[in-house]
Each structure stands twice: as C-alpha cells, then as structure tokens.
Amino acid sequence: MHETTSFDPKQQQATFDNLVKYAVAPRPICFASTMDASGQVNLSPFSYFNFVSQQPPICVFSPLRRMRDGSTKHTLDNLQELDEVVINIVNYSIVQQQSLASTEYGKGINEFEKAGLTAIPSLHVRPPRVAESPVQLECKVRDIIALGDGPGAGNLVVAEIVHMHIHSHLLDEKNNIDQAELDLVARLGGDWYCRVTSDNLFIVPKPLRNLGIGIDQLPETIRTSKVLSGNHLALLANVEAIPSMDPTGSPQHTFDNMEHAHRHIGNLLDENKLHDAWQVVLHLEN
C-alpha cells in the first residue's frame, strides 16, 4: 500500500485548494453565454461543469464568488435576472480563446468580441451561441443553489437542455459523434490542460448485463499475482462464468516461470485478447 499525506480543507485551505484541482481532473470545459435584463451579453468559461441527468437532460456548472471579497460575478448576476443560458462546449480549436475570455472584464464588455468569437442567435433562449463551439446546448435554468456566501463559494446552476446543436461534420450517417474528431480539451491543475486525441483514446468494455464473476472468483495464483494489475484482474473477472478450456488452443509459448506467464497474460489483455488470456490462465491451472 502507498503512504498518503493528508490535508484539511479548513486548516490548510490554500494548499488544499491548489491540490484538489490536480486530483479531481480532467474536468470538461464550457463557455456559458448569458444575458442580463437589459440585453447585455456575457461569455465566461467554466471547468466546474458537467452533464448529470439524461431525462430530463441536465447540465450543472458553478460560478464561484470572487476570492478577494466574496462578491458575485457577471454570469451569476445575469442568471438571476434572466434564467436562460447557452452551454457551449470548448475543444482544442478554441482553447486559447477560452483562456482569454476568462479575463475579468468589466460589466458591459462583450467577451465575444474580446476573444474573437462569433455570436449567433439561439432558437429557444435569448443568450447567443458560440458559432465556433462544436456543441451548443440551449438551456433553461431550473435552480441556482448557493453553496456558501464567502470568497470562493460556488453557486450550483442546474440547467435543463431544451435544444442541442452539433457541427455536422462531426456526425456520421447514424448520428454518432466521431470522438477523436471532436478534439475535446479538459482542465487539470494549475496551468495544465489535456487534449483528447486518437492517440490517447481507449475502450473499456461495459459491464455485462449479467453479473461478472468478480475478482474474488479468479484462481488464487492469478488473484495474488505480483505482475497482473487490478485492471488486468478486472478484465478477466468481467465474464459470466469461467470459460472452458479449448483443447486446440493451447498456448504457443513456453514459460520460464509463473512471472513470465503472468506477463504474457497481461500483454494479451493489453491487446484486448481476453479469450487468449483466459486460455493461458486455464492451461496454467491444469
């Protein structure tokens, strides 16, 4: 087991505030476009943001109070005047403009113009959309939950999606999004970001509709392996029953020792060859 170092958010606030943003990551980023009662538009990026409900379709994001004095920012002020917002997803092509728009411009300054982004009309809400954003979600605000009234306190905005727009080139004939082409970015700690590219995409098989056997049901020599990782064991355990040994599928390798065999099993699992990996396990056990 690894040693841990502990931090109290009340006793070590500054250190905790810094570290937790490294730990709870990556966080998706959106632009929230809002409008006040007089029609002035504000555009602000948020990484305290996510999708939390399918039916009804709900996004949440959290405008924080200013750290210096606890005052509220323009996004929150606008939402309290006009309960509509467009959530515009940020990808790599606009990530630098996103950062620029996070500058705390004064009331009445148009961040669309400052960041060089194009405002286009929405269909069902009054705030405009960001044309450059690959996915734009028109939303009605259902609730704003104040999480405190001091510096840094969040205000959880619960926004129901009433219409979605997607750049057409991202969709195939079945209306599936090309995940790599979407080119999403996410916020990490400090000044760090990450980018979702084809090189770092991978698939995790969904759990079976019927129960997997679980790691506790794996052969003991596999379960206690010093070579196979927890991920490897979970892949082996996500089957409905231990497979039968294929008499024609004996391993094409000879192993110097059990560690060598387990490394081979791990390599097969890394290559998504679950059947072959199980055959090696079964031959080792017989």
**Predicted confidence (pLDDT) per residue in 223-274, tens digit:** 999 999 999 999 999 999 999 988 775 556 788 899 999 999 999 999 999 9
User: Are the C-beta atoms of 83 and 140 separated by less than 8 Å?
Assistant: yes
CA distances from 79 to 37, 139, 141 (A): 9, 11, 8
The residue-averaged pLDDT of 214-227 equals 95
Beta-carbon contacts of 80 under 8 Å, excluding residues fewer than 6 positions away, are: 144
pLDDT for 5 equals: 96
**Predicted confidence (pLDDT) per residue in 152-188, tens digit:** 999 999 999 999 999 999 999 999 999 999 999 999 9
How far does Cα 256 stand from its chain's mean position? 42
User: Are the C-beta atoms of 118 and 132 separated by less than 8 Å?
Assistant: yes
User: Hey, is 80 helix, strand or coil?
Assistant: helix
Residue found by looking up tokens 């300054």 in the block: 109
Q: What is the second-level CATH architecture of the domain 13-200? A: Roll (2.30)
User: pTM for the complete prediction?
Assistant: 0.86
**Domain layout of the chain by residue ranges:** 13-200, 215-285
Higher pLDDT, 248 or 89: 89
**Predicted confidence (pLDDT) per residue in 189-207, tens digit:** 999 999 999 999 988 877 7
- Asked if residue 128 has a cis previous peptide bond (ω within 30° of 0), the answer is no
User: Are the C-beta atoms of 85 and 42 separated by less than 8 Å?
Assistant: no
Strand partners, 163: 138
